[in-house]
Homo-oligomer: A and B are copies of this chain.
């Protein structure tokens, strides 16, 4: 059973995933192995559906939920076979001497982005990305019903340097019984901003960036792609909805194709212009059970692995970005032809 342990210096939970533990001496010259199609059968490919744990959701080419006996699926959501968290644990903490421990409760699910054995997001069509986005929102609306869950993270790791261990393109959903430290910091920062200025910080950013027009990469009816002013990573890219609302799962039907268009543009840009670097993306969505409407604004962040976070960044929490968002925005804007 994985467990949460409280770091009493930082007052934060950490996961010790004992199920994935291995003997200490085996760490010598450890390498993350990306499974290769030539060596093994891929559990995410069409036809191998019985290789995954029983599925949670299956949708067709129109994004419609279909029966698990229907072979014409486009996206499936399944529990992770080796979950970092367990759905049947109890979300309550207990004391252990001066420390606190909590069973590793949470959901850890995999969104299979395509029935085909594709490796990169750029191989998905705009229509397929639309179906994936819809599947995210559908699943979140369901997870929300479980009152033990406080916050949800949707993310994608692509490439070995981003920590991907299965090459077939897939996203992951984590649902946890508390607010994550990253979300807590965002809530603290944006609620402070709201108290000071009586405005949503992200709405202010969109207005200022539109006026300045130096870090905006692309804009359609519903979304803006930009390089953040205080960028932490070269080519860190945000997709921000123009409409203010805190939770991704409330995305409107009319917004989904616009969001998929932005995803497609970014996937193609990184593949074609930057030599297909590893990357992580995350949907930063508000907590499920807090009234954050006045100050929290959901958004999407893509962070390519183009630089290594060295000691200074880890020791201080201050990121050093070795390029300016103005330069990267200009380059992206010139490269993207829509």
Contacts and interface: CB of A to CB of B under 8 A. Distances in A.
Interface of A: 5-18, 20-25, 27-30, 32, 84, 97-99, 153, 155-157, 161-164, 172, 174, 176, 180-186, 188-190, 192-193, 201-202, 204-205, 208, 212, 228-232, 234-235, 273-275, 277, 280-282, 284, 303, 306-312, 314-325, 327-328, 330-332
Given A274-B28, A280-B310, A311-B162, A14 B316 contact: no
A131 to B, nearest CB: 21
B317 A172 contact: no
Task: Please name the 8 residue pairs, one residue from A and one from B, whose CB atoms are nearest each other, closest first.
Answer: A163-B310, A181-B317, A180-B316, A24-B331, A11-B189, A5-B230, A7-B230, A282-B315
B312 A84 contact: yes
Nearest to A157: B311
A181 B231 CA distance: 16
Given A205-B8, A311-B162, A316 B183 contact: yes
A155 B14 contact: no
Nearest to A279: B311
A23 B327 CA distance: 8
B322 A21 contact: yes
Contacts of A21: 322-324, 327
A84 B320 contact: yes
A180 B9 CA distance: 15
B318 A15 contact: yes
A202 B9 contact: yes
Contact of A17 (B182, B306, B321): B321
B275 A16 contact: no
A281 B164 CA distance: 26
Contacts of A234: 24, 27
8 contacts: A12-B318, A25-B273, A27-B277, A27-B323, A84-B320, A98-B208, A99-B208, A174-B316
Contacts of A202: 9
A205 B15 contact: no
B11 A188 contact: yes
Nearest to A97: B208
Contact of A24 (B32, B161, B190, B327): B327
Contacts of A282: 311, 314-315
